[in-house]
Amino acid sequence: MANIPINHLIDQYINYLLVEKGLSNATISSYSADLLRFSGFLAAKKIKTINGADTVAILKYLIDLRDEGLDIRSRARHLVTLRGFYRFLTAEKIISQDPVRLIDLPKFGLKLPSALSVNEITLLLAAPDTKKPKGLRDAAMLELLYAAGLRVSELLHVKIRDLNLESGFVRVMGKGSKERIIPIGSHAIAKTDEYLKHARPKILKHHTSAYVFVARAGNPMTRQGFWKLVKQYATAKGFDKKISPHTFRHSFASHLLEGGADLRAVQMMLGHADISTTQIYTHVARDHMKRMHEKFHPRG
């Protein structure tokens, strides 16, 4: 089976991602482009079957990417793509050993996302004026964004039917139309409940909407609109660092891992298809453990 042409195997893998994994078109396109580039490299080296695409060939490919000017982050992404491809080949018993498993990601290959401290998050969550209907809406949005680690698009498209405040869960449709159910804490529950009872009806006026967080005429807020709100609240609280809605997602993951959460559980809550994406946050957890060791160990 290992003599099957590489391009045919790539087609099988892409079809698997599309049909079995249900990944988004954007993700499929990204993987396809990476594997097409890998296939082109192998063709230039006269490697036609997967047998020849061994660890040495993959290392040469990564060096070739570096020589072509790709930065470390981009090369790391290519390696993540190859890891998925070779795991598929191994699982399908097309190859017996995975030649990528011994190759590490390039150092600092995946840039650590910026995260706020717990105190900074607390300060930012308190920024909206909850005496006003839209301020209460914004406060509920920020609380839910941080409590569940949502992507901005997921937050903006949460519908009434997706919320179960009594049980403390929110259901979202992530990338590739993958559904996940995420627990939310008492603060997000309380703030969202207050918003639904007292602010949402005033914002809606005579309109109706299936969405939880509404803007003009009952429509969901735009990404750009929400981004501007976050920027305004960050500026009002004196933050000089760049803060975006995605900062809340990074902070969610970092704070969970700092508290000792299991990486797989965080992966599930974030909706990452590949745990290698979640692993960029483990640097935060390791740094936190090191600080705790230095602070509390008698010989730290």
Q: Is residue 103 part of a domain?
A: no
Domain limits for position 85: 6-91
Asked if residue 165 and residue 282 are part of one domain, the reply reads: yes
- Residue 298 maps to a domain: no
What is the torsional sign of CA 214, 216, 218, 223?
A: negative
Paired with 214 in beta bridges are 220
Q: Which of 277, 256, 228 is nearest to 23 (CA)?
A: 277
Give yes or no for a contact between 204 and 194, defined as CB atoms under 8 angstroms apart.
no
The domain tally of the chain equals: 2
DSSP letters along 215-234, please? -GGGPBPPHHHHHHHHHHHH
Model pLDDT, residue 292: 57
DSSP string, 126-149: T-S-TTSHHHHHHHHHHHHHHHHT
Percent of the chain with pLDDT over 90: 46
Catalytic residues: 151, 175, 246, 249, 272, 281
| Arithmetic mean of pLDDT, 79-85 | 92
Average pLDDT, the chain: 85
CA distance 230 to 142: 8
* Residue 102 counted as domain residue: no
Identify the CA nearest to 139 among candidates 153, 124, 151, 154: 124
Considering the domain architecture, whether residues 161 and 248 belong to the same structural domain is answered as yes
Residue 46 has a CB neighbour count (10 Å cut-off) of: 7
Same structural domain for residues 78 and 127?
no
Q: Are residues 135 and 229 in the same domain?
A: yes
Kindly state the average pLDDT of the residues 32-48: 92
Strand order in the sheet with 169-173: 163-164, 169-173, 179-183
Q: Please tell me whether the overall predicted TM-score, pTM, comes out greater than 0.85 for this model.
A: no
Instruction: Let me know whether 142 and 202 are in one domain.
Output: yes
The residue among 131, 54, 130 whose CA lies nearest residue 98 is 54
On whether both 61 and 181 belong to a single domain, the answer is: no
Query: Is residue 194 domain-resident?
Result: yes
Of 75, 91, 107, the residue that ends a domain is 91
What does the pLDDT average to over 192-213? Answer: 95
Does some domain include residue 110? Answer: no
Highest mean pLDDT out of 3-12, 111-120, 127-136, 220-229: 127-136
| pLDDT > 80? residue 263 | no
In a domain, 104, yes or no: no
CATH number where 66 lies = 1.10.150
Region 45-62: what's the mean pLDDT? 86
Are both 127 and 276 inside the same structural domain? yes
The pLDDT assigned to 110 comes to 47
Q: Tell me, what CATH number does 153's domain have? A: 1.10.443.10
pLDDT in tens, 127-176: 999 999 999 999 999 999 999 999 999 999 999 999 999 999 999 987 76
Of 91, 126, 158, the position where a domain reaches its end is 91
Is 107 inside any structural domain? no
Q: Is the domain of 135 the same as that of 57?
A: no
The answer to whether residue 105 is domain-embedded is: no
Residues 29 and 159 in one domain: no
Q: What is the pLDDT of residue 109?
A: 44
Same domain for 129 and 87: no
For residues 72 and 167, membership in a common domain is answered with no
Whether residue 49 sits in one domain with residue 166: no
